[in-house]
Structures are given as structure tokens and as C-alpha cells.
Structure 1
Amino acid sequence: MITPEIIARINELGRKQKEGQLSADESTEQAKLRRLYIDNIKNQVKVHLDSQKEHINSHDCSCGCQDKHHKH
């Protein structure tokens, strides 16, 4: 889970990088935190899309034909 503290640290490291003051350890930390953030966002999108897919597949057609695969 991405916390406000993680986002704050990502931003802090980004500012230090722009100023040219990022150490090797901080650069490694930044890469790990960015990957954590990206993976979290990708997971959220996947969960949302899976949820939408289940929602669509669980409803009968709105025209009353009861065909879940019918396209209008």
C-alpha cells in the first residue's frame, strides 16, 4: 500500500535528484519506491477492470433478451 509518507519520500528524492544531490543509496531507494508505486497503480487498475468485467458479465441484457453476450 502506498502511504502519504512513501509519496512524500518519492517527492523528496525527486527534488534532490533535480538538484544533483542524490547519493547512490538514495538513487537505489528512489528506484525501489518508484517501482512500488507503479506496481501499486497497476494492481489498482487491474482490480478495477476485473470488477467492471464481472459487473458486465453478471447482468442480463437491458433489452430483456437475457443474453449476456448480446451486443446492441
Structure 2
Amino acid sequence: MEESRLARINELYKKSKEIGLTEAEKTEQAELRSEYIQAIRKNLRGTLNQISLLNPDGSVTELSKKEKH
């Protein structure tokens, strides 16, 4: 996520605490927060995909996404 978008999230947060936000700004804030959360999840998934577990018997198991039942 771009630094300018993170700065805008922080700017809207500060403004909401000081004087409040207009409806348009509230919508913008919600969209930016959603985008931020998606970026964090993508980053976390990428990190988890790089992890392998070493089993007691010496074999290596890669972490993978579990299927939902």
C-alpha cells in the first residue's frame, strides 16, 4: 500500500477525533481501511507460504492452506 494512502488513513482518523467526518469522508475512510486490511492479509499469506515445518523424524512439511469442511 502506498505511503500516501496510509497518510490519508491517519489524516482521516485524526480529523474524525477532532471535528468529525462528512459522509463522503466516512465512505473514503471505510474503503481505505478495507484496502489496508486486504494488503495486510496478502502480506501475511505470502509470509506463511514461505514457512516449512521440520518434523521430529527429520522430514519437512510445507504449510498449506487448509480446506474448509
TM range (shorter): 0.7 to 0.9
- Could you tell me the percent identity over the aligned residues? 36
CA-based RMSD of the aligned residues comes to 2.0
Q: Give the partner amino acid of 2:4.
A: E
Where does structure 2 lack aligned partners over 5 or more consecutive residues? 62-69
> More strand by proportion, 1 or 2?
2
TM-score, normalised relative to structure 1: 0.71
Once the two structures are TM-superposed, the CA of residue 56 in structure 1 deviates from its matched residue by 4.1
Q: Aligned letter for 1:26?
A: E
How high is the TM-score relative to the length of structure 2?
A: 0.74
Per-residue Cα deviation, 1:28-58 (whole angstroms, up to 9, x for no partner) = 0000000100110011001100111xx448x
State how many pairs are aligned. Answer: 59
**Structure with bigger gyration radius:** 1
Q: After TM superposition, what 4+ stretches of structure 1 lie above 4 angstroms from structure 2?
A: none
Higher helix share: 1
Partner SS, residue 51 of structure 1: coil
